[in-house]
């Protein structure tokens, strides 16, 4: 390959993209200085559909943090995110709007300015029960767990109760170290979670 063209480990200008290159630490010569435009991601909430793999209005914040992942998500009025759980732990900051989450079956109302904590591997879903859009910032340790190969996620859709999902997982003897989806619409899917992907 000539000079890193279309190499996801590098930016187009040939400098290393620390998010993609598969190493947690670098010699300082490899990563400094980053071009000024790598130090800022301007107005990501204006481009919520930029992550092509997600059908949701959500995207990673594109700054090269190695251990922390940030994402911004919009939840339209009346919408609910899939019931899911993952090994990464998360803080959710409500930028706009109000609604509630269910965390391991417990309903937690929230509004603009609140921080919500999602512990590792607890089922959760976010609900916008208002008539205004909800915008929230997710802060997770997903990047660090990805480096270590340890972040896994379970998706269950919005209509399957937590107890039913657990029964199905137990019956199928899925490995807790696999990614799988038991969404009743999409069926069961296996495979590692994307190295970099939105996670709400």
Query: Which positions touch Fe ion (CB under 5 A)?
Result: 200
Chain residue whose CB lies nearest Fe ion: 200
Q: Which is nearer to Fe ion, 122 or 130 (CB)?
A: 122
The least distance separating Fe ion from the CB of residue 199, rounded to whole angstroms, comes to 6
Q: Which is nearer to Fe ion, 62 or 155 (CB)?
A: 155
The least distance separating Fe ion from the CB of residue 126, rounded to whole angstroms, comes to 8
Q: Give the separation between CA 67 and CA 65, rounded to whole angstroms.
A: 6
The least distance separating Fe ion from the CB of residue 84, rounded to whole angstroms, comes to 6
Question: Hey, what are 84's tokens?
Answer: 């899911």
Q: Is there a contact between 125 and 83 (Cβ–Cβ < 8 Å)?
A: yes
Q: Is there a contact between 103 and 90 (Cβ–Cβ < 8 Å)?
A: no
Q: Which is nearer to Fe ion, 17 or 69 (CB)?
A: 69
The least distance separating Fe ion from the CB of residue 191, rounded to whole angstroms, comes to 18
The least distance separating Fe ion from the CB of residue 125, rounded to whole angstroms, comes to 9
* Alpha-carbon dihedral sign for residues 45, 47, 49, 50: negative
Q: Which is nearer to Fe ion, 51 or 200 (CB)?
A: 200
Question: For residue 43, what are the contacts with CB-CB under 8 A and spacing of at least 6?
Answer: none
Q: Which is nearer to Fe ion, 31 or 74 (CB)?
A: 74
Name the one residue in this structure whose structure tokens are 């279309």. Answer: 6
* Nearest Cα to Cα of residue 155 among 185, 132, 133, 127: 185
Cis-peptide, bond into residue 33, ω within 30° of zero: yes
* Nearest Cα to Cα of residue 60 among 99, 34, 88: 88
């Amino acid at each position: 390959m000539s000079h890193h063209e279309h190499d996801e480990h590098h930016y187009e200008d040939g400098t290393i993209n620390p998010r993609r290159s598969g190493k947690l630490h670098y010699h300082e010569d490899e990563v400094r200085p980053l071009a000024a435009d790598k130090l800022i991601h301007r107005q990501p909430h204006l481009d919520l559909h930029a992550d092509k793999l997600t059908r949701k209005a959500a995207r990673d914040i594109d700054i090269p943090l190695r251990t922390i992942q940030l994402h911004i998500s919009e939840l339209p009025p009346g919408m609910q995110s899939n019931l899911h759980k993952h090994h990464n732990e998360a803080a959710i900051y409500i930028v706009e709007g109000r609604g509630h989450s269910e965390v391991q079956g417990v309903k937690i109302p929230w509004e603009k300015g609140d921080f919500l904590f999602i512990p590792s591997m607890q089922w959760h879903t976010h609900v916008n029960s208002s008539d205004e859009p909800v915008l929230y910032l997710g802060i997770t340790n997903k990047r660090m767990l990805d480096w270590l190969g340890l972040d896994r996620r379970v998706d269950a859709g919005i209509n399957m109760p937590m107890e039913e999902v657990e029964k199905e997982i137990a019956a199928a003897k899925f490995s807790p170290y696999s990614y799988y989806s038991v969404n009743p619409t999409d069926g069961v899917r296996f495979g590692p979670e994307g190295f970099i992907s939105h996670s709400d």
